[in-house]
């Protein structure tokens, strides 16, 4: 017999509206949606709680945090992946694009090594063993200000579930870190750099950008096409940068840093993604544009938890409150990111979609999760 479950008497978060109704799930898919508050025999009474599609996370550094919980502290990959997977499930995220940096600097003051190829192999081994609670894809963060980017990109194949490739440029003095004082404070605080090491670090990064930046950007675009991945920009700041992004075929902008860039993105048909911590804290920790300001101007499409997984659902609820439309707020973390990533089987409550679902209620303006299902299976 096919496993069947009915979630009844729920406030269903549909595209564009919420309605009282029920969802019947067969196996891994949604079989039927009905309206009304009735609770059939054997159904789970949701008592009016919200039932939404599971959250879709396109950019999170959370796995990196698990494999290196402190500078120079390296954790066993399998243990880190399982902890990361369980943490995301517990926050309502049912699809994640795990961000992994490609492009390393094996020499000099800015030294760091590669890890993405090995980590992704460990991730897929666990997936093959059905050890993961939620759905994982890769998000390769291609750092153009590096030495080894091309070689590292070449290590990945179309079979590697690379869903996103983002062009990253962390050269000091532009994009995310236009404010050099904030950049200096960030690095010295995180890595305990002294003045000389910081200056050597900055000089090395700028030299690498001058030497490799243009070629690395071109090769990253080629790699995304080869891998069948969606191409994203990162930290666009000016209209000219957005124009270049559009020329590459980019349709997703991660964390534009100015109102000017966000407006230009929409002019070019590029979806704007902002960080949930920015929304919740009321501003960017780097001194860039506030997510709330873009939301108020109608230039915010997608939210990302970035470095705090539990922030994703809360940010969507805050947007729903601000816009006076909870369905619109939830769409920034469900249907819109799913569509931006080319996933057509999830992100909305409809017959035939994957049974990735969350149930939650609001408590003093905070969404409190009751349950999470991935492919019809309870995972939290």
Place of tokens 């991935």: 374
**DSSP string across 357-378:** EEEEEEETTEEEEEEEEETTEE
What pLDDT, in 10s, does the model give residues 191-220? 666 777 777 777 777 777 777 778 999 999
Q: Is the pLDDT of residue 180 over 80?
A: no
> What is the mean pLDDT of the segment spanning 125-139?
98
Instruction: Provide the pLDDT confidence category of residue 132 given band limits of 50, 70 and 90.
Output: very high
**How high is the pLDDT of residue 250?**
96
Predicted confidence at residue 192, as pLDDT, reads 64
Distance from C-alpha of 258 to C-alpha of 254, rounded to nearest angstrom: 12
- Selecting from 3.40.190.10, 3.20.20.140, 3.40.1710.10, 1.10.510.10, what CATH number does the domain 54-347 have? 3.20.20.140
300-325 pLDDT per residue, tens: 999 999 999 999 999 999 999 999 99
Exposure class string for 45-68: b at 16+ Cβ within 10 A, else e: ebeebbbbbbbbbbbbbbbbbbbe
The candidate with the shortest Cα–Cα distance to 256, out of 247, 245, 265, 267, is 265
| Per-residue pLDDT at 14 | 97
Delimit the domains of the chain by residue range: 54-347
* Phi, psi for 164 (deg, rounded to 5): -135, 140
Q: With contact defined as beta carbons under 8 Å apart, do 228 and 206 qualify?
A: no
Instruction: Quote the pLDDT of residue 1.
Output: 39
Tokens standing for 361?
């209620």
* Residue with the two structure tokens 């993105």: 265
Q: Are 90 and 311 in contact (CB under 8 A)?
A: no
Alpha-helical segments (H) within 68-172: 77-90, 116-128, 149-154
Tens digits of per-residue pLDDT, 31-74?
999 999 999 999 999 999 999 999 999 999 999 999 999 888 99
């Amino acid at each position: 017999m096919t496993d069947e479950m009915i979630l009844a008497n729920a406030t269903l978060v549909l595209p564009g509206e919420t309605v009282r109704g029920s969802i019947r799930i067969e196996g891994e898919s949604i079989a039927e949606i009905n309206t009304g508050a009735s609770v059939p025999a054997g159904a789970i009474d949701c008592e009016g709680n919200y039932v939404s599609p599971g959250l879709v996370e396109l950019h999170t550094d959370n796995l990196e945090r698990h494999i290196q919980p402190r500078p120079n502290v390296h954790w066993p990959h399998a243990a880190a992946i399982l902890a990361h997977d369980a943490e995301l499930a517990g926050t309502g995220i049912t699809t994640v694009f795990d961000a992994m940096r490609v492009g390393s600097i094996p020499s000099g003051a800015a030294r760091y090594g590669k890890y993405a190829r090995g980590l992704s192999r460990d991730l897929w081994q666990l997936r093959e063993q059905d050890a993961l609670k939620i759905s994982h894809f890769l998000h390769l963060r291609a750092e153009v200000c590096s030495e080894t980017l091309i070689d590292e990109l070449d290590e990945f194949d179309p079979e590697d579930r690379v869903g996103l490739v983002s062009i990253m440029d962390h050269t000091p003095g532009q994009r995310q870190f236009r404010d050099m004082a904030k950049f200096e404070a960030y690095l010295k605080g995180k890595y305990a750099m002294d003045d000389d090491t910081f200056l050597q670090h900055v000089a090395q990064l700028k030299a690498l950008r001058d030497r490799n930046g243009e070629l690395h950007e071109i090769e990253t675009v080629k790699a995304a096409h080869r891998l069948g991945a969606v191409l994203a920009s990162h930290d666009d700041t000016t209209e000219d940068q957005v124009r270049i992004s559009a020329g590459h075929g980019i349709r997703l902008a991660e964390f534009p840093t100015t109102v000017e860039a966000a407006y230009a993105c929409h002019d070019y048909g590029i979806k704007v993604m902002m960080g949930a911590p920015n929304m919740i804290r009321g501003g960017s920790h780097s001194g860039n544009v506030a997510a709330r300001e873009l939301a108020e101007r109608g230039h915010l499409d997608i939210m990302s938890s970035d470095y705090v997984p539990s922030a994703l659902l809360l940010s969507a609820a805050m947007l729903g409150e601000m816009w006076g439309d909870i369905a619109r707020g939830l769409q920034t973390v469900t249907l819109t990111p799913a569509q931006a990533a080319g996933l057509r089987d999830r992100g909305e409550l409809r017959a035939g979609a994957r049974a990735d679902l969350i149930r939650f209620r609001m408590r003093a303006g905070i969404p409190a999760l009751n349950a999470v299902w991935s492919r019809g299976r309870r995972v939290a």
